[in-house]
Amino acid sequence: MRETIRFLRRGKPVELIDVGPTETVLDYLRLREGSTGTKEGCGEGDCGACTVALGRIVDGRLVYQPVNACILLLGMIDGAELVTVEDLAADGRLHPVQLALRDLHGSQCGFCTSGFVMSLFTLYHAHGKEKRRKTVTDWLAGNLCRCTGYRPIVDAALDSCFDAADDSFSWRAAETREALRRIVDSRDVFIGDGDEFFAAPASVEGLGALYGEHPDATLVAGATDVGLWITKALMDLPKVIWLGRIAGLDRVEQSAAGVLIGATATFAATEAAMARLAPDLGELWRRIGSKQVRASGTVGGNIANGSPIGDSPPALIALGATLELQKGDASRTLDLEHYFLDYGRQDRAAGEFVTGLFVPTLDPNQVFRCYKVSKRFDQDISAVMGAFRFTLADTTITEARIAFGGMAATPRRAAGAETALIGASLDDPSTWGPAMRALTADYRPISDMRASADYRMETARALLAKALMEASGAPEQIRLRQPEGSVDDRAA
310 pLDDT tier (thresholds 50, 70, 90) = confident
Assign residue 204 the CATH number of its domain. 3.30.43.10
Evaluate whether 371 touches 404 at the Cβ level (below 8 Å).
no
Domain presence at residue 4: no
32 vs 27: CA distance, rounded Å: 7
Task: Using pLDDT thresholds of 50, 70 and 90, give the confidence band for residue 272.
Answer: very high
Model pLDDT, residue 487: 40
Contact by Cβ (8 Å): 321, 260: no
C-alpha to C-alpha distance for 53 and 63, rounded to whole angstroms: 10
Task: For residues 486 and 337, state if they share a domain.
Answer: yes
* pLDDT reading at 97 higher than 50: yes
Query: Please, are residues 64 and 32 in contact by the beta-carbon 8 Å criterion?
Result: no
Bridge partner residues of 387 (DSSP)? 370, 403
**Least confident segment among 209-218, 256-265, 378-387:** 378-387
Q: Is residue 488 very low, low, confident or very high in pLDDT (cuts 50, 70, 90)?
A: very low
Residue 331 and residue 267 share a domain: yes
Inside any domain, residue 2: no
Residue 291's closest CA among 138, 438, 424?
Answer: 138
Q: What pLDDT is stored for residue 474 in this prediction?
A: 56
Say whether both 164 and 200 belong to one domain: no
Residues 173 and 212 in one domain: no
Q: Per-residue confidence at 481, pLDDT binned at 50, 70, 90?
A: very low
pTM across the whole model: 0.93
Same domain, 212 and 174: no
Residue burial 300-322, b: 16+ Cβ < 10 Å; e: rest: bbbbbbbbbbbbbbbbbbbbbbb
Proportion of the chain in helix, strand, coil states, percent, rounded to 5? 35, 25, 40
How far apart, in whole angstroms, are the C-alpha atoms of residue 334 and residue 338? 7
Q: Which of these three, 224, 242, 260, is where a domain ends?
A: 242
Dump pLDDT digits (tens) for 124-137: 999 989 999 999 99
Reported as a pLDDT band with limits 50, 70 and 90, residue 398 is: very high
Is residue 150 predicted with pLDDT exceeding 50?
Answer: yes
Q: Please tell me the predicted confidence (pLDDT) of residue 146.
A: 87
Domain-located, residue 1: no
Closest CA to 307 of 97, 144, 450, 463: 450
| Same domain flag for 217 and 76 | no
3 part of a folded domain: no
- Interhelix angle 150-160/96-103, nearest 10 degrees: 140
In a domain, 436, yes or no: yes
Please write the tens of the pLDDT for every residue from 154-184: 999 999 999 999 999 999 999 999 999 999 9
> Are both 227 and 308 inside the same structural domain?
no
The mean per-residue pLDDT over the stretch 286-293 comes to 94
> Please, which pLDDT band fits residue 303 given cuts at 50, 70 and 90?
very high
Residues 327 and 355 both lie in one domain: yes
Does 307 have pLDDT greater than 90?
no
Give domain status of residue 247, yes or no: no
Which carries the bigger pLDDT value, residue 492 or residue 137?
137
Domain count, the chain: 3
For residue 96, the domain's CATH number is 3.10.20.30
Contact call for residues 431 and 423 (beta carbons, < 8 A): yes
pLDDT at 475: 46
Residue 88 has pLDDT above 60, yes or no: yes
Q: What percent of the chain has pLDDT over 70?
A: 96
Query: Alpha-carbon distance 402 to 368, whole Å?
Result: 10
34 within a domain of the structure (yes/no): yes
- Find the DSSP H helices in 410-452: 415-421, 433-442
Phi, psi (rounded to 5 degrees) for 209: -70, -45
Q: What's the pLDDT score for residue 377? A: 87
Residues 64 and 157 in one domain: yes
Residue 16 maps to a domain: yes
Q: What is the DSSP letter of 361?
A: P
Domain that holds residue 288: 252-491
Q: How confident is the model at residue 479 (pLDDT cuts 50, 70, 90)?
A: very low
Q: Are residues 321 and 345 in the same domain?
A: yes
Tens of pLDDT, residues 409-453: 999 999 999 999 999 999 999 999 999 999 999 999 999 988 999
CATH number for the domain that contains residue 469: 3.30.390.50
If asked whether residues 148 and 235 sit together in one domain, one would say: no
482 with 367, same domain: the answer is: yes
